[in-house]
A and B are shown apart, each in its own frame.
Chain A
């Protein structure tokens, strides 16, 4: 049996893992399914904790760093990015 990985990337409202998911992506290494931009209007889970309760394991926490001087009011990427995984057994 071989293991394959599914990734779920959830962007939360705040660093609180119970806070609302505002953006999401899925990358599935267990099948040929390819998720793409704009393919769903609602997140698969309302929060990171809700995904954990369905068996998703958090494998990356966002670091929290103070703003660089002079860039305190700049915005760019979504800050609270949590990466979760599921491993699935596949017939080799």
Chain B
């Protein structure tokens, strides 16, 4: 059951750590989707300077209203806190009958922080597979690559096209690999992307009442099948990320880090 403040719970946060994204289907109401779509079509989205407090922006526009919805506020507050900064936005469109997929990429450049930005992907209209939409690669967010370095790849086991109803919102870690998909329909496709930077330490910002749930370890151990032999290394990345998120420096999954951290230097006691 959603909390009154719409914060994410620990299972959702673990899923974000393992997959690099969370998806919320049909989150935005129809009237607002239609108004936001019209705003994008009219190219009337104000572009403030990077680093502008999000709370001061888009005070009287449909897209601003979308990101002030209590459910989206809860997602944002759980991941980047209550006062994030605007990084940039993009009205991404794919023209009708555009048959070329975009090259796989991650946004920006190599980013080695444990602190992380988020990107909202908002689909204001229905997006069937023949229309695209954005394709993502679950579990790719910790890979250290720079933008289109990965453009040689075309397909992965487990790749996931965002096929969704109007009003669906995805929120992703800044490192997620993604690409726009061809649009085989007669209509231009729109997707609104918004990147936010945290201004507070990302430490237990979500509803942590279920932090001891034993299912968390299982989620953090998820094996995305495209990893191949590197699956265990990805679990190590997630353990480190979970320690960062929770402040629990002893947290482990499957003893992977505890084993490596066992470097005793106490002399063995001699038998009396």
B228 touches A14 (CB 8 A): yes
CB distance from B62 to the nearest CB of A (A): 30
A23 touches B233 (CB 8 A): no
Contacts of B159 in A (CB 8 A): 38, 41
Q: Give A13-35 interface residues, CB cut-off 8 Å to B.
A: 13-14, 19-20, 22-26, 34-35
Q: Decide if B157 is an interface residue (CB 8 Å cutoff).
A: yes
The stretch of B63-71, B115-123, B138-146 in contact with A is B138-146
Per the bound structure, the CA–CA distance linking A35 and B144 in Å amounts to 25
A75 touches B153 (CB 8 A): no
Per the bound structure, the CA–CA distance linking A12 and B152 in Å amounts to 15
Q: Decide if A63 is an interface residue (CB 8 Å cutoff).
A: no
A23 touches B101 (CB 8 A): no
Contacts of B104 in A (CB 8 A): 37
CB distance from A49 to the nearest CB of B (A): 16
Contacts of B100 in A (CB 8 A): 34, 36
Chain B, interface size category, equals 20 to 34
A25 touches B153 (CB 8 A): yes
Contacts of B130 in A (CB 8 A): none
Per the bound structure, the CA–CA distance linking A34 and B159 in Å amounts to 19
A73 touches B103 (CB 8 A): no
Contacts of A76 in B (CB 8 A): 143-145
Beta-carbon contacts of B41-83 to A below 8 Å, as 1s and 0s? 0000000000000000000000000000000000000000000
Instruction: Report 21 cross-chain contacts, Cβ distance below 8 Å, ordered by A residue.
Output: A22-B226, A23-B155, A25-B152, A36-B182, A37-B155, A37-B179, A38-B135, A38-B161, A38-B179, A39-B101, A39-B154, A41-B155, A43-B157, A73-B236, A73-B237, A75-B144, A75-B233, A76-B144, A76-B145, A77-B145, A79-B229
Binding site for A on B (CB under 8 A): 99-104, 135, 142-145, 149-150, 152-157, 159, 161, 179, 181-182, 225-230, 233-234, 236-237
Binding site for B on A (CB under 8 A): 9, 11-14, 19-20, 22-26, 34-41, 43, 73-80
Extra contacts, 9 of them, besides A39-B101, A43-B157, A75-B233 (Cβ < 8 A), are A13-B229, A22-B228, A25-B154, A35-B154, A36-B154, A37-B153, A75-B144, A76-B143, A79-B230
